[in-house]
Amino acid sequence: MATMTDTERSRLIKLGKVAKNHHEKDSALLAEAVVAKDPQRERRIAVYLHNDAQELLILGEILGAHGTEFTTQGKQTRRTLLEVYGIEIDEMTIAMQLYLWKERQTMDNAMGNELGIGEEILEEAEGAPLYTKDFLAWSEDVLRFPAAAPRQKCTFCGDAATDYRVLQACGSCKKTLYCDKRCQKMHWRKEHKAVCKKEAGTDKVEELTAEETQENKSEEAEAEDNHDVERAKEAKQEHSKPEESQAADSTIKESKEGDGSVD
């Protein structure tokens, strides 16, 4: 194993925690797709979870004992993807990333500054799915390619700003960047609320907290409305049963009276 400095270890652990955030987000999206019974969306999100698991396994391999949590999560997701969706993770990709990382540690800054993904690979990536482009960008980050340094990234999930993804700043501190509303909301609840309070001032945070509370109330109200609709349907069905029963009894009675007149 190539020698790893404390700085490099800390950097990779930070990347691993961001990869876990991305995994958490995609897992939530997948659960929603399952509940909605949307197989196409479910399959699409499963492919992104494949990226998450692959990244966690790569970082786990590089970090060894320091990356146990990433390896554990990656293996669990790999097993689920294979059993449920038939999606496999290529072990050669993991081995290649580990090899490239080792090679990168032997280079000085001058040589490292010349690194980049080959033109042939970049040309192929032009027409590739977004998850492939995202993985290439992530690989550049892990290997400290110069192209990765200036990229802005979502603070929560780590997705880089591209021509197909525009990042938005936190409305309060104006410093933290997010790729979408979900990442902002998940990060706010997880840790950003406390940090933002120091950076933006109490008044602004209270305003954002009020907005979040209102959003939660709206979601709860919508859920309650849905329950009310279901309860109304059930009540209507229960109410209609006696009427249907009475109508049926009346029909039977008329039928019997008719039979009696024939006799």
Q: Considering the domain boundaries, does residue 122 fall inside one? A: yes
Q: What percent of the chain is modeled with pLDDT above 90? A: 50
Token output for 261:
């007149």
Domain assignment of residue 226, yes or no: no
Indicate the pLDDT class of residue 115, thresholds 50, 70 and 90: low
Confidence at 113, pLDDT banded by 50, 70, 90: low
Q: How far is CA 30 from the centre of its chain?
A: 8
**Contacts of residue 81, Cβ cutoff 8 Å, sequence gap at least 6:** 46, 49, 50, 53, 87, 88, 89
Model confidence, pTM? 0.73
Q: What is the pLDDT of residues 209-234, one digit of tens each?
A: 555 554 554 454 444 444 444 444 45
Encoded tokens for 215: 């959003």
User: How is the chain classified by DSSP, letter by letter?
Assistant: -----HHHHHHHHHHHHHHHHHHHHHHHHHHHHHHTT-HHHHHHHHHHHHHHHHHHHHHHHHHGGGGHHHHHHHHHHHHHIIIII-----HHHHHHHHHHHHHHHTS-HHHHTT----HHHHHHHHTS-HHHHHHHHHHHHHTT-GGGTT--B-TTT-PBPBTTB--EE-TTTS--EESSHHHHHHHIIIIIHHHHHHHH-HHHHHHHHHHHHHHHHHHHHHHHHHHHHHHHHHHHHHHHHHHHHHHHHHHHHHHHHHHHHH-
- Please compute the mean of the pLDDT values over residues 89-102 and round it to a whole number: 93
Question: Which amino acid is residue 36, in one-letter code?
Answer: A
Average pLDDT, the chain: 80
Residue 69 has pLDDT above 70, yes or no: yes
Q: Tell me, yes or no, whether 110 lies in a domain.
A: yes
Confidence of residue 252 (pLDDT cuts 50, 70, 90): very low
pLDDT at 215: 54
Domain count, the chain: 2
Domain that holds residue 29: 6-147
Tell me what pLDDT residue 228 has.
44
Which residue, 138, 173, 197, sits at the end of a domain?
A: 197
pLDDT at 52: 98
**Token code pair at residue 212:** 């979040």
**Each residue's pLDDT tens digit, 145-202:** 877 778 899 999 999 998 889 999 998 888 899 999 999 999 999 889 888 877 766 5
* Residue 167 located in a structural domain: yes
Residue 256 lies in a domain: no
In a domain, 220, yes or no: no
Q: Residue with structure tokens 């993807």?
A: 81
Mean pLDDT comparison of 70-79, 104-113, 134-143, 226-235, highest-scoring range? 70-79
On whether both 143 and 156 belong to a single domain, the answer is no
* Final residue before a domain boundary, out of 132, 147, 162: 147
In this structure, what token pair is assigned to residue 263?
């006799």
The pLDDT value recorded for residue 204 is 55
Q: Is residue 96 pLDDT above 70, yes or no?
A: yes
CB 54 within 8 A of CB 135: yes
170 and 69, same structural domain? no
Q: How far apart are CA 216 and CA 18, in angstroms?
A: 25
Closest CA to 205 of 196, 216, 214, 215: 196
Quickly state the pLDDT bin for 117 (edges 50, 70, 90). low
